Each structure stands twice: as structure tokens, then as C-alpha cells.
């Protein structure tokens, strides 16, 4: 089965993309090259082979593509203005990302290296904090996996827990909407998704990559 076509948005000096294909550092850097640039900084985030001493099988990424693409663009445009960059490109991979392969590439060009370094780091933190992208950590010693928000420090929920949380929140929203409130009825058979985050308290000794949010299992990839 062919992978979905990449979703991208570009204008002079800015390029953002979501793709199921293997990421290409050279192609990403080409989006930011400029004869006026004295520095190009490239960050590549890769899948490591362990997490908390557990062997990792791979990472699986999902995104709500329309919103995520807009968020990536807004982040890139703001940093381009803030640091007077010549170019900035953000490319994020979706689907499965095996050990050692890149899940995100950020390329930044500027007249001087200091601005490029700062903008690249800020871009990564903003993407992790704001982009509508979620990841499933799959471990070698576990048939299931853990959904996490795509940022450092997040707690994870197992797939079954996440599914129950989605169902409970969806049911609650439906009850609040239905009794005595006029409005458009949901189409029969259409599944609704909660808009807010799903968060559970941290358990003793539990760590992860960032707060857990709705993994949007039916979102377009």
C-alpha cells in the first residue's frame, strides 16, 4: 500500500512538511540555503534503542494534519521574524520510525551562527510543546505500547487506558450536549473526538516524554 502523500506548506524562506517517507537531510537543508547565509544549523531527532532501560521496538507517530501543519508554519514564521533568519524548514515524519532513523528535521539559516543555533533549539521546543502530533512508544518486551504527547517529560498511558479515556470523555460531551440544548444533532454513526487533553495523574516513579493528550486515533495521517 502506498504511503499517503506528504502535506506541506512553503513560501520564500519557510518550509514545513508532514510525511510518511524517510526524511532527507540534504533536501531539507536545500529549503534554507541562501547566498547571504553564513550558517546553516540542522537538527535531526532520531529514535533511540532504549527508554528507561527498556528496549524500544520503534516509535509510531500520528498527527491531526491540518492543525499540525498550521502550527508548524506559525512556529517557523514567528522564529524567522524573531531571529531575522534567511530560512527555516521543519519536516516531521509520521507512521513508524525505526531505531536510528529521523523523526524530525529542523534546518535554519542565518547570517551568523548564534541566531541559527538559538532559533533551531527554540523551534524544537515549540514543536514539541504545541504541534498536534502524538507518538506511540512500542517496546520489544511488550505487546502493547504507550501513547505520549510529543514533548519531554510527558507521562504515558497504555493503549487500553487511552481508549477508555477517549470513550468516557466522548460520552460525557454527548450527554452535556443532548439534554435540553438546541443545536445540530450528530450524524448517526459518526464518531466524535474530544477536543481537550486527556491527562491522568503521574504515578510514583513514572517518567516519560511529555503530558499525555488525546492521541486522535482516527485523525487523518
Cell of 135: 507518538
Q: Name, in order, each residue with C-beta under 8 angstroms of 24's C-beta and a sequence gap of 6 or more.
A: none
Cell of 67: 492543525
CA-CA distance, 62 to 132, in Å (whole number)?
A: 9
The sign of the CA dihedral 194, 18, 22, 54 is: negative
Burial label, 110 (beta-carbon count in 10 A; 0-12, 13-18, 19+): buried
Backbone angles phi, psi at 3, to 5 degrees: -70, 150
171 is in an annotated binding site: no
> Cell 531527532 sits at which residue?
45
CB 210 within 8 A of CB 148: yes
pLDDT at site 212? 37
pLDDT at site 165? 55
112 is in an annotated binding site: yes
pLDDT at site 5? 83
CATH topology of domain 7-134: Aldehyde Oxidoreductase; domain 3 (3.90.1170)
Nearest to 90 by CA among 129, 117, 127: 127
CB 194 within 8 A of CB 170: yes
Tell me the pLDDT of the chain (221 aa) as tens digits: 567 888 999 999 999 999 999 999 999 999 999 999 999 999 999 999 998 889 999 999 999 999 999 999 999 999 999 999 999 999 999 999 999 999 999 999 999 999 999 999 999 999 999 999 999 999 998 777 888 877 665 444 455 455 455 456 545 645 554 554 444 443 334 433 333 333 344 444 444 444 333 344 444 44
So where are the chain's domains? Answer: 7-134
Whole-model pTM? 0.70
113 is in an annotated binding site: yes
pLDDT at site 1? 59
Q: What is the secondary structure of 2-43 as a DSSP string?
A: PPPPPEEEEETTEEEEEESSPP-HHHHHHTT--TT-SEEEEE
In the chain, beta strands by DSSP E: 7-11, 14-19, 39-46, 50-51, 54-63, 87-93, 95-98, 102-110, 133-139, 146-149, 157-158
Amino acid at each position: 500500500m502506498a504511503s499517503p502523500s506528504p502535506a506541506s506548506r512553503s513560501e520564500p524562506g519557510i518550509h514545513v512538511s508532514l510525511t510518511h517517507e524517510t526524511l532527507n537531510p540534504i533536501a531539507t537543508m536545500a529549503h534554507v540555503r541562501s547566498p547571504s547565509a553564513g550558517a546553516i544549523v540542522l537538527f535531526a531527532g532520531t529514535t533511540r534503542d532504549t527508554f528507561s532501560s527498556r528496549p524500544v521496538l520503534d516509535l509510531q507517530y500520528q498527527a491531526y494534519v491540518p492543525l499540525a501543519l498550521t502550527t508548524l508554519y506559525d512556529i517557523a514564521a514567528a522564529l524567522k521574524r524573531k531571529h531575522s533568519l534567511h530560512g527555516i524548514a521543519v519536516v516531521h515524519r509520521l507512521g513508524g520510525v525505526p531505531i536510528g532513523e529521523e523523526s524530525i528535521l529542523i534546518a535554519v539559516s542565518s547570517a551568523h551562527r548564534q541566531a541559527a543555533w538559538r532559533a533551531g533549539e527554540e523551534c524544537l521546543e515549540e514543536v514539541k510543546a504545541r504541534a498536534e502530533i502524538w507518538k506511540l512508544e512500542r517496546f520489544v518486551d511488550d505487546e502493547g505500547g504507550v501513547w505520549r504527547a510529543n514533548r519531554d517529560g510527558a507521562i504515558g498511558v497504555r493503549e487500553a487506558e487511552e481508549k477508555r479515556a477517549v470513550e468516557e470523555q466522548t460520552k460525557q460531551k454527548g450527554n452535556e450536549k443532548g439534554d435540553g440544548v438546541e443545536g445540530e444533532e450528530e450524524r448517526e454513526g459518526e464518531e466524535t473526538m474530544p477536543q481537550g487533553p486527556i491527562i491522568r495523574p503521574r504515578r510514583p516513579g513514572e517518567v516519560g516524554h511529555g503530558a499525555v493528550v488525546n492521541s486522535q486515533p482516527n485523525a487523518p495521517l
